[in-house]
Structure 1
Amino acid sequence: MIRVGFRWLERGSCRHPERATISGGSLCPVDFPALVGVIEHPERGLFLFDTGYDSAFIEATTPFPERLYRWATPVDIGAGQQWKTWLDEHGIEEDSIAGTIVSHFHGDHVAGIGHLARRPVHCSRAGLDGLRRTGRFSGVRRGLLPALVPRGVDANARFFEEAPVRRLPGGFAPFTAGHDILGDGSLLAVELPGHCVGHWGLALRTTRDHQVLLAGDAVWLGKSIREGRPPPFVTTALLGNTRRYRATLQALIAADRGNRELTILPSHCADSASRFRESHAD
């Protein structure tokens, strides 16, 4: 795999009871950061893995029934999380962003996609189709806000399902294959089904030679993998498919236990993000 620069940065957060995300969790509200992968390819430029929260989320959840989404998961988007400010804070030039890689189309992952809709958007065809077909009430129930995703995204979409399949290095086992979204083996999209239709992760190797699997919402917390604790049935049944979700979790557990050099990063786990920054960040 071609090595890439990688940072794992927060852009906004939401708050809800831990028990909604992990069996036996606390009923107390917990802050869940929305984490964005900043990937620097040596030749192709900079790519974002998801976009985190954005002021567009507040606008999209102002009317009813979309406001129910905001009530269920209260959001914190500070001044430092606004698009231009966030880019400047992390030394990112907007013109250097070559495209976006979308794990799935839930609002907390695509709220900022409007800033980049005219550039290539690598995503799941099934996920984008599902977003476009959803109604307003069913969308809220499933975490989808079509208003966040401009129609320009459809024209600029590059679908994971259509990218060539390439064998993954053994350090990602039991995951054996990914879809080569840039065609050079640097970024391999890996389907992680169950959370919702069109949910994918991303396998990469950093410039410091660390193997990383960006897991999206295949789990919310790293301890779900370490302790084998899935979300409760009510959560996975509401958003996706419980059987497939738990099969994906078992594969992640096997990957974590079988590959000492592999780092698995869920998109909302502050603890996993902190550990990564301390010991792996470029």
Structure 2
Amino acid sequence: MTIAGGSLCAIEFPAMVGVIDHPQRGLFLFDTGYDPAFLEATRPFPERLYRWTTPVSIGDRERWQVWLHSHGIDEAAIAGTIISHFHGDHVAGVQHLAHLPVHCARAGLAKLRAPGRFARVRNGLLAALVPPEVDAHARFFEDAPVLTLPTAFGPFSEGRDILGDCSLLAIELPGHCAGHWGLAFETHEGRPVLLAADAVWSGRSIAENRPPPRLTTALLGDTRRYRATLGMLGAAASANKDLTILPSHCAISAKAFCGKDVAG
């Protein structure tokens, strides 16, 4: 379901979190991954359909304080979250940080709050995971100043300056679902990085230009726009050898970037 011509065998599919250490503002989490709250949110019907179609394993190590400690994260240093999109595997932990600024797409939050439980579940959305407090603290990508991206991210040309200091630039990556965005920045060492969220599910898809089957992309979003975005990611990877593109579910890409095994 994640790559054309893929195996029918089950694979591990981690939901990873980006931890960004801003030199002045503190820590920002790019998405929040899974949390035991996901199990509670998918207990009733029709939300249980989400858990049936994408079975998950959530144990004690995913509990908020345990997860923070195991990754050496000081909760008091977290300045806010950056939400790529509102699918359950990307926002299950946002409840813990709902009192902080939440940078996200207006279109994505609107879709999450739209009526119709069956429709939301079909689109991978679990409204119970995102408390109403988030709406009050939301800072929308669409409202941030438009900036020209550095050439290291070409052919992507435009980003949104979400902090107002040119450090973190949100890039719309359409096709996967409504309100789906990535994040471009340079590390302390000057390495360009694009957090691609679910615009692509593996580095292999980029390297081989192999999108998911049409059934998958049509179910969740827009196949034509998804494939156009994948094409741009491939062009960016080819044109910019120093650019690192990190999908949210590709442990191989994350390990290559971090130089070690990573956990969701």
**TM-score where L is the length of structure 2:** 0.97
Match of 2:121 among 126, 140, 143: 140
Partners of 2:159 and 2:186 lie apart in 1 by 13
Aligned to 2:133: 152
Select which of 210, 232, 241 maps to 1:260.
241
User: How many residue pairs are counted as aligned between the two chains?
Assistant: 261
Kindly indicate whether residue 32 of structure 2 is the aligned counterpart of residue 51 of structure 1. yes
User: Do residues 72 (structure 1) and 47 (structure 2) align?
Assistant: no
1:194-223 deviation per Cα after TM superposition (whole angstroms, max 9, x unaligned): 000000000010012110000000011110
Correspondence 1:271 to 2:252: yes
Counterpart in 2 of 1:31?
12
Match of 2:229 among 243, 248, 251: 248
Give the whole-Å Cα distance in 2 for the aligned partners of 1:277 and 1:135: 41
The yes-or-no answer on 1:116 pairing with 2:97 is yes
Post-superposition Cα deviations, 1:96-131, rounded to whole Å, max 9, x if no partner, equal 110000000000000000000010000000000111
Q: What residue is the counterpart of 1:168 in the other structure?
A: 149
Structure number with the higher strand fraction is 1
Query: What is the DSSP-based 3-state SS (H/G/I as helix, E as strand, rest coil) of the residue aligned with 1:47?
Result: strand
Percent identity reads: 68
- Counterpart amino acid of residue 106 in structure 1: H
Deviations 1:234-275 (A, max 9, x none): 000000000100000000000000100000000001111111
Query: Within 2, Cα distance between the matches of 1:134 and 1:274?
Result: 40
C-alpha deviation, 1:91, in angstroms: 1.3
Q: Specify the alignment match of 1:103 in structure 2.
A: 84
Runs of 4+ in 1 over 6 A off after TM superposition: none
1:88-237 to 2 correspondence within 5 Å? 88-237=69-218
Q: Is the 8 A contact 2:36 2:59 kept in 1?
A: no
| 1:115-150 CA-partner distances (Å, limit 9, x unpaired) | 000100000000001110041111111100001000
Decide which moves more: 46-55 or 73-82.
73-82
2:11 alignment partner, SS class: strand
Give the unaligned 5+ runs of structure 2: none
Which residue identity does 1:75 align to in structure 2?
V
* 266-275 or 183-192: bigger deviation: 266-275
- 8 Å contact kept, 2:185–2:193: yes
* Aligned residue in 2 for 1:16: none
Distance 1:119 1:86 in 2: 19
Q: Specify the alignment match of 1:10 in structure 2.
A: none
C-alpha distance after superposition, 1:80-101 (max 9, x if no partner):
1210001011111111110000
Letter in 2 for 1:46: L
CA distance in 2, matches of 1:247, 1:267: 19
Mapped partners of 1:134, 1:197: distance in 2: 15
Deviation at 1:78, TM superposition (A): 2.3
SS at match of 2:76: helix
